Amino acid sequence: MNAEILIPITLFVCIAYAIRVVVDARVRQRIIGANSSQELVRSLLESEELRRKHESLRRGIVLVALAIGFALLDLGGGFDVFTPMSAAILLGATGLGNLAYYLFARRAG
């Protein structure tokens, strides 16, 4: 992939992530600063911690599924040319990873 394409995409993703972090921090600050009850603040922090754990778990499962998809592509004759079948395998692996996460989260929760 050309650096002329990759650098602007990476910059956009970093800016979007930085905005998300700042907005989340401001919302938490306002909730805590509004003299909310201790129970509300505690439940907010606990739910955020659980959300982070689930988000990491989901990313991990999806990335493992994508790695399996790439391995299947490599075993099937290489990844020299991107074809519709290659896209189908990678999209299917992503979908299976999301389904696996859903089943795991449902069983755990």
Question: What's the number of CA atoms in the CB half-sphere (13 Å) around residue 39?
Answer: 0
What is the structure's pLDDT at 17?
92
Does 25 score more than 80 pLDDT? yes
Burial 2-22 (b: 16+ CB within 10 A, else e): eeeeeeeeeeeeeeeeeeeee
Residue located via tokens 């519709």: 84
DSSP label at 81?
Answer: S
pLDDT tens digits along 3-22: 788 888 899 999 999 999 99
pLDDT tens digits along 48-99: 888 888 888 888 888 898 888 888 888 877 667 777 888 888 888 888 888 8
Higher pLDDT, 37 or 7: 7
- Cα dihedral 26/32/33/37 (nearest 10): 150
